[in-house]
Amino acid sequence: MTTAVRRARIPAVIPAAIAAAWLLAVLAQASGRGRALHHDALLEGGPPLWVALGLFIVAWQAMVAAMMLPTVIPLLRNYLVVSVSQPRQRTLIAAFLGGYALIWTIFGVAGFLGDDALHHTVDRTPWLSARPWLISGGVLALAGAFQFSDLKDRCLRKCRLPGLYLAHHYRSGVAGAFRLGRGHGLFCVGCCWALMLVMFAAGVANLWWMAALTAVMVYEKTGHSGDRAVPVVGVVLLSWAVLVLAHPAWLPTAFAGVD
């Protein structure tokens, strides 16, 4: 192993952050406190919207660290090899992850505010309020249909080939690291937003949905047969959506509060 490659190893703080985020999710699930961060608890009779948004952003960062940070490690490892001669490696890593986290934070905030608007719409529509499974089934159907979209495929190709992506987008310096992370974050959101919408609906601290969807997204991006898994996941989600819409009793427990 060359000196450059040894110096470019992923810093221990990154797997430690992933482990800490999963530990928080386990503790939240075991203690039952995770339910306090569900969108229903925060929006229905909860604190003021700006306080609820702040609490959500904190929980969202932990969920992104647990679910999305593992998927970015291949690109980060390649980046560290290429930039090994640059000074301030830790600053570069922080800038890269900051750009990546910024995109996911914007997505999370947009999702939260959109969910608030949806709650108000449902409150003004008694017919829809009495049929929450229509929204739940719609979320599953949207996520399933997106698995077959060209956008999903194009964004996934960027994520599956970190070396090629780096060759086209690498720039030196802290600003270059930030832009690299931000750009990769856009493609990551592009291929995973629908699955994360399912996670959003299930609740930001629901351990079982986190584990299942993380496994799906990591395998889609890094697995040897990740491209083959994409349509399989789509069929599963669409089938589940049909079952939920046809027979609401099969609505996943975590989605029972979606309205």
pLDDT at residue number 250 = 60
Alpha helices in 161-203 (DSSP H): 162-169, 173-202
- What's the predicted TM-score (pTM) here? 0.85
How distant, in Å, are the alpha carbons of 67, 114, 256 from that of 131? 31, 19, 11
A 10 A CB-CB count for 94 gives 16
Structural contact between residues 204 and 122, judged by C-beta atoms closer than 8 angstroms: no
Range of the domain at 35: 3-255
Encoding tokens for residue 125?
């529509």
Determine the Cα–Cα distance for residues 33 and 42; give it in Å rounded to an integer: 12
Q: Looking at the 3D structure of the chain, how many domains does it have? A: 1
CB crowding 235-254: b at 16 or more within 10 Å, else e: eebbebbeebbeeeeebbeb
Terminal-residue alpha carbon distance, the chain: 55
pLDDT < 70 stretches in the chain: 1-8, 34-46, 202-205, 249-259
pLDDT at residue number 143 = 95
Determine the Cα–Cα distance for residues 17 and 251; give it in Å rounded to an integer: 33
Give the amino acid at 80.
L
pLDDT at residue number 256 = 46
pLDDT at residue number 259 = 41
pLDDT at residue number 39 = 63
Structural contact between residues 21 and 62, judged by C-beta atoms closer than 8 angstroms: yes
Q: Which of 234, 232, 213, 242 is nearest to 137 (CA)?
A: 242
